[in-house]
Structure 1
Amino acid sequence: MALTGGRDVESGGLQGRLYASVQPAEMGARPTYVLLHGIGVSHRYLARLHEELAKAADVYSFDLPGFGKSSNPGRQLQVEEFAGFVGDVLTEAGVHNYVPVGHSMGTQFAVELALQEPERVAGAVLMGPVVETSRKSTARQAVALTRDAMFSESLTSNAIVFSDYFRAGPRWYLTELPVMMDYPLEERLAAVSQPVLVLRGTKDPIARRPWCVNLAEVAQQGTMAEILGQGHVFQHTAPEIAAQAISGWVRAVNGFGVTA
């Protein structure tokens, strides 16, 4: 599944692709969500969630540099650089207040955006966050990913994920893998002052429950919630429930001033 109407975007010599579902300003203030994919993949496995959230919010999704239909940067990018790219593109698009919704490695980008742009990022949603501090081993992550694909995911989610892996290519995936593995998520998250929702599927072997509970406790204003019976890619397999969890959390914290 892919969204239509995407456009190429560029900042700082990096190229990506942006997909937007935005209502005219005269329609009234709506929350704004920015969906950020993880390593190897693209906006496609977030497309169902994008469409659900867009029923009541303005939503932006990215193909980040090197992934999806974006060109390869030709060098290793750090988490801070991905976040800086997203922030610059959103500024150019006129987005002034938003909630980044990251999945897997995308949670790292969401945290960095919250730290880089505290005046613009109203809160952050971390779906299936990585990498658990006690399991910073490529072999362990590979085993967990395999378990998730075999026992927790649908045929369509696996088709999207693995075809995106093929498109990105092993060289770029392996270039960015150490960046994901080395990112100190707990340490960086502890410095985030905005509200944070940590969201996981109950069958997710990658973002395990104790790890997610710990992250919610580390955050200054953290909440943890679960999507019953779902794996790591729950935003694709249960998009309506995921959208309800996210929008319900925003309402529960009084919307914290989220506007388009």
Structure 2
Amino acid sequence: MTALLSADVEALGLTGRIYWADGTPAPSAAPATATPPTPTSSHGSASSGPAYILIHGIGVSHRYLARLHAVLGAGSPTYSLDLPGFAGTPKPGRRLQVEDYGAFIAEALVSCGIESYILVGHSMGVQFAIEAALHAPERADRVVLMGPVVDAKHKNLWRQSVALGLDGLLRESPSSNWLVISDYLRCGPRWYLTELPVMMQYPTHARLAGITVPVLILRGSRDHVAGPEWCLRLSRTVPQGRLVEIPGVGHVAQHMRPKAVADAIRSFVSATARHR
């Protein structure tokens, strides 16, 4: 077992946190005394190339992406983010729109010397990834959208809540539920409820249409938060869109099947290597 190093990162008046492992180049703005707070799996030296940037969803943190981080990071530079207001980072003084998070991600990464990357977002992190790609299209090499929200079948809060609740009860493991619930507590209900309407109102399909690089839509085959019809529709929204399902898992596929998810991402990256 190794540990993720971390450093606070500031951009546009907001503060978040970036994580990386030994063998991955440290962000250029990171202090020499960066701390290792979070355990993850063993990790080899990372190769050069576009970095993977892992982006969490509403209320949670990098922790439920840690298994995927470890697998991807064994072969490529990989970084995870805790976004402003989540995971104990300072709460912004106002409600943030998805565009604000996207701009923060893009500007924070360039401030860390990370100028070419593959954005990998989960759940509401899908929305953040789309906006980061739109904010700095010259830096986003590809986009991976896991369990994208909000499904057209769940466009009201009740339906979205039921889908998420059933997924937690019926599809997820105790460890994934613990990570999600404990992160919700760290986030706190005030900020979660502040940002929830932003997630619900974001036009995922319309904004995705502006992406010009290859896009992978990835879902667990038992994920009712991001259903098959919705994900297929998103994959057909962009000229270079693909859809992959991970068998037998629900919404938090990257925690339940990190190797399968990583393999799907790597295959997508390899297959689209000559897109430019």
Question: Do they superpose with TM above 0.5?
Answer: yes
One-letter amino acid of the counterpart of residue 12, structure 1: L
Helix, strand or coil at the partner of 2:5:
coil
The reply on whether 1:145 has 2:154 as its aligned counterpart is: no
Helix, strand or coil at the partner of 1:40:
coil
Aligned pair partner of 1:48 in 59, 67, 75: 67
Q: By how many angstroms is 1:219 displaced? A: 1.6
Q: Percent identity over the alignment?
A: 51
The reply on whether 1:197 has 2:216 as its aligned counterpart is: yes
Structure 1 range deviating more: 24-33 or 230-239: 24-33
Q: By how many angstroms is 1:3 displaced? A: 5.3
- TM-aligned CA distance change 1:167 to 1:56, over 3 Å: same
Contact preservation (8 Å) 2:24, 2:78: no
The 5 Å alignment of 1:14-163 reads 14-21=14-21, 23=24, 29-163=48-182
Helix, strand or coil at the partner of 1:99:
strand
Query: Could you tell me which residue of structure 1 aligns to residue 40 of structure 2?
Result: none
Aligned pair partner of 2:258 in 215, 233, 239: 239
Helix, strand or coil at the partner of 2:195:
helix
Aligned pair partner of 1:167 in 175, 186, 192: 186
Contact preservation (8 Å) 1:2, 1:43: no
Helix, strand or coil at the partner of 1:143:
helix
Q: Distance in 2 between matches of 1:108 and 1:27?
A: 27
State TM-score, norm by structure 1: 0.94
The reply on whether 1:179 has 2:198 as its aligned counterpart is: yes
Helix, strand or coil at the partner of 1:30:
coil
Q: By how many angstroms is 1:156 displaced? A: 0.2
Helix, strand or coil at the partner of 1:35:
strand
- TM-aligned CA distance change 1:27 to 1:50, over 3 Å: closer
Q: By how many angstroms is 1:89 displaced? A: 1.1
Q: By how many angstroms is 1:117 displaced? A: 1.1
Q: By how many angstroms is 1:178 displaced? A: 0.6
Contact preservation (8 Å) 2:147, 2:219: yes
Q: Distance in 1 between matches of 2:221 and 2:212?
A: 27
Q: By how many angstroms is 1:28 displaced? A: 5.3
Query: Could you tell me which residue of structure 2 aligns to residue 248 of structure 1?
Result: 267
The reply on whether 1:7 has 2:33 as its aligned counterpart is: no
Q: Distance in 2 between matches of 1:125 and 1:139?
A: 27
Once superposed, what is the RMSD of the aligned Cα atoms? 1.9
Aligned length: 257
Greater relative CO (CA pairs within 8 A, separation 6+): 1
- TM-aligned CA distance change 1:116 to 1:2, over 3 Å: farther
Structure 1, unmatched stretches of 5+, are none
Q: By how many angstroms is 1:227 displaced? A: 0.3
The one-character-per-residue Cα deviations of 1:165-208 (angstroms, maximum 9, x if unpaired) are 11111111010001000100110111111100000000101000
Q: Distance in 1 between matches of 2:3 and 2:85?
A: 18
The one-character-per-residue Cα deviations of 1:138-175 (angstroms, maximum 9, x if unpaired) are 10011001110011000000000000011111111010
- TM-aligned CA distance change 1:203 to 1:3, over 3 Å: farther
Structure 2, unmatched stretches of 5+, are 27-44
The one-character-per-residue Cα deviations of 1:18-48 (angstroms, maximum 9, x if unpaired) are 1024545997533411000000000000011
One-letter amino acid of the counterpart of residue 89, structure 1: A
Higher helix share: 1
Q: By how many angstroms is 1:256 displaced? A: 4.4
One-letter amino acid of the counterpart of residue 240, structure 1: K
Q: Distance in 1 between matches of 2:274 and 2:71?
A: 18
